[in-house]
Amino acid sequence: MTHALIVVDVQNDFCPGGALAVPGGDEIVDHINAMMAEFDTVILTQDWHPEGHSSFASGHDGKSPFETTDMHYGPQVLWPDHCVQGTEGAEFHPDLKTHADLVIRKGFRRGIDSYSAFFENDQKTPTGLEGYLKSRGITKLTLVGLATDFCVHFSAVDAARLGFDVTVRMDACRAIDMDGSLAAAKAAMRDAGVALI
């Protein structure tokens, strides 16, 4: 029981037709479902924002989605309203198997965003995932999901920094790829010791 599959944010708002759709986001669902049986543990992450979350461009006068602003914890990309708690957009893709060992909800604190499954964007506030994995003796992680260049990237880098053996299955991820973000994310993951396959 030492190898976990972490399925990152395969939610309606990140799939075609959603508020923050990742191109081809729904194409990976069947592949992820097929992979689940290969792992001892399956963990799902779920973006779970309250209405009026600070990362939503709609709450910043004169700002548009995908612009950047400075928050108390550093630069923050402003997003369209997405994955609002209790909405259809926040639900997992309807074809995704959801019989997981754990669901980690992130981004639920109004004043801070959370890309990583391990920490809020201040890089200090933990989600509790590290403790869960270590208490179960899990040392190897394989990450899949959405989006490669944001939540998968930050989760993988944090996991490697925390001492886990981390692989990202690129065939089961899709990226936003905004202004070179995918190339930068790949480089950062490799630099952190993450295996990209």
Q: Which residues are known catalytic residues?
A: 9, 106, 151
Spatial CB neighbours of 73, under 8 Å, sequence gap ≥ 6: 112, 120, 121, 122, 123
80 vs 91: CA distance, rounded Å = 17
Determine the distance from the C-alpha atom of residue 128 to the mean position of all C-alpha atoms in its chain, rounded to a whole number: 15
H/E run at residue 71: strand 68-71
The DSSP bridge partners found for residue 84 are: 49
Is the distance from CB of 69 to CB of 78 less than 8 angstroms? yes
